[in-house]
Amino acid sequence: MHPEKKASVLVGVAILVTIGTSACGWFPTKSKGEKATQNDVGLAGQWRDSCTKLDWFGFAYQQVTQKFSAVGDFEKTKYLYSDENCSNKIGTLVESGTYDSLGGSTTVNGVKNINFTITKATVSAGSDDAAALLNNISYCGIETWKTGEVNDVLGKTCAGATHAAGEVVFDVYRVDMDGKRLTTGKGTLFLNKTEASARPESLDETHIYTKVE
């Protein structure tokens, strides 16, 4: 092949390879970009509320910790206690998955809509008394609750409701006080009595989360 023609062919091949390589990266980059717009960096980190009263099958008090990653993952942990100081832990409920921050709410001023997709949920009894409480009601259809044993509860009927993996919880939230305070509209999927698909029309001001440094 003539040297000039050969050089021309090589240049053409290089251009096609470059275009093809770039094209292969377009869609993943676009997808990541779209997901990035649904992540709120203001949420990233760990949040904790105070010790509050709870009326749930004999469990008396609770304290909740929420963790959000910068890439759209979340974990909500509800610790259950027998005392008003939340010092004697007797159970734990953990829900985790991904979240999408959807921008400002059209019904609640100053807050944003958020959707949580639940991919995992577990409950564990931290004491013999807690195990007895769960055994008395055969919670989630589990015949025997044992102290310290972690049970997967997704897909099981718990307190009359069945929550499948991938269920989406519609909520609202607000981050204020220079990024140090978080307020949401709902509690956990398994303890909250409203429908998962019903987005709250107000914030729950009784549960205020503060940023954990």
> What is the pLDDT at residue 43?
95
- Determine contact, residues 209/48, Cβ cutoff 8 Å: yes
Separation of alpha carbons 187 and 116, rounded Å: 12
pTM over 0.85: no
For residues 188 and 41, give the distance between their C-alpha atoms in angstroms, rounded to a whole number. Answer: 22
Spatial separation of the C-alpha atoms in residues 146 and 128, rounded to whole Å: 7
Tens digits of residue pLDDT in 50-82? 999 998 888 999 999 999 999 999 999 999 999
Q: Between β-strands 161-162 and 157-158, what pairing exists: parallel, antiparallel or unpaired?
A: antiparallel
Q: How far apart, in whole angstroms, are the C-alpha atoms of residue 97 and residue 23? A: 31
